[in-house]
Amino acid sequence: MEYRSVADSGLRVSAVGLGTVDFGQRLDSVQSETLVLAAIDAGITLFDTGDNYNDGLSEEFLGKAIRGHRDQVVVSSKFTGRDRFRSDGSRRFVIESCEGSLRRLGIGCIDLYTMHHPDPDTPIEETLRALDELVEQGKVRAIGASNFSGWQVAEADHVAVAAQTSRFVACQMEWNLLKRHVEDEIVPACRHYDVSVMPFYPIASGLLTGKYGKDRPLPAGTRLGDLDFYARVASTRNFDKVGALTEFAEARGHTILELAMSWLSGRAGVSSVLVGASSAQQLEKNAEAIGWNLSAEERSDIDALIEDLGNPGEIPFNK
C-alpha cells in the first residue's frame, strides 16, 4: 500500500481509505469489526465516517473496531446537521457535534474533522473559528470540507488566512469515470490552494466493477438493486460507457475495477480514494486495484472514449 501526505497537515494516509457508511445499515457490529481488521491487514490506515451515518451507529461500530489499533489508523469523521445535504456550521453545533462524535468513537482526538456540506446561512469564518478551537483544544488534528464548490474552497482558504485559523486541508467529493463534473472547478481549486482531494464513490456504487449487466436486472442485496438513490447511475448510456471502458482495460491486461481505481488514484492532488465494501474479499480487491500507472497517452484515450459517448447524469449525488 502507498501512503501519502494530506496537504500540509502532517497526516499521512493510505492511498485507499475505507468509507463506513454501511456500518450500522448493511453491516452489523461484528461484520464491521471484521472489515476494519481486514482493512488494517491490507495496509489501509484511513477510516472515514460521519455523525449522520445511520444515526451515529457507524461511528460507534468504527470506534469499537479500532480499539487496540488506534496508533495504526487515521480517523476521519464529519459533522452534518439540519438535513442530509446541508451542514450546520454554527459554532454551537460544530462544538456539540464534535463532542458527540468523540464520545461515540471512544477516542480523544479526531484526526480529520470534516464539514459534510456547505452551510449557506452561517459565515464560513464562524465555522472555521469553531473548528480552530477544537484544534487548539487537541480534540481535532486537522479539518476538511466535503461537497464544496470551487469558489467555496477558495473562499474558505482566503478567510482562514485572514482570520489566522486552521485551514481546510482536504476536500471530499464524488468523482469517478462516470461523474467528472468536479474537474471543471473544484479539483483545480483544491490543487491551487493545496487542499488534498479525497474522492468518494470511485466505482460508481459498483457499476465500474463489471458485475452489473446492461440487460440484466440489478440484483437484490446490492446498493444499486436496493436503493433508488444509487440506482440512478445505472443508465443505458452509462452502461455503454462501462462496456467501452471494460474493453479498453481488458485489451491492456487489466480489469475495469483496476482502471477505475488507478485512474483516480493517479490524479494530481489525490491523497486517498475512499471506497466502501461489504466483505473483506471485496475490500482487498479494491485496495489492490491502484497499481496501474496509466500513461498520459492512455489517459487521453480514455477522455476521448468517454467524450464520444456523451456525459448524461453529470450532476453531484446530492443534487
Sheet holding 140-146, edge to edge: 196-200, 168-174, 140-146, 110-115, 74-79, 46-48, 16-19, 273-275
In angstroms, the CA 311 to CA 2 distance is 32
In angstroms, the CA 180 to CA 176 distance is 6
H/E segment holding residue 46:
strand 46-48
Grid cell of 30 as nine digits = 461484528
Q: Angle at which helices 236-250 and 296-308 pack, to 10 degrees?
A: 150
The answer to whether 274 and 290 are in contact (CB under 8 A) is no
- Give the gyration radius of the chain's Cα atoms: 19
Which of 44, 34, 41 lies closest to 13, judged by CA? 44
Whether 53 is a known active-site residue: answer yes
Per-residue b or e along 215-234, where b marks 16 or more CB atoms closer than 10 Å to that residue's CB = eeebeeebbbeeeeebbebb
Set 3, 53, 193, 212: catalytic member = 53
In angstroms, the CA 279 to CA 293 distance is 26
Active site residues: 53
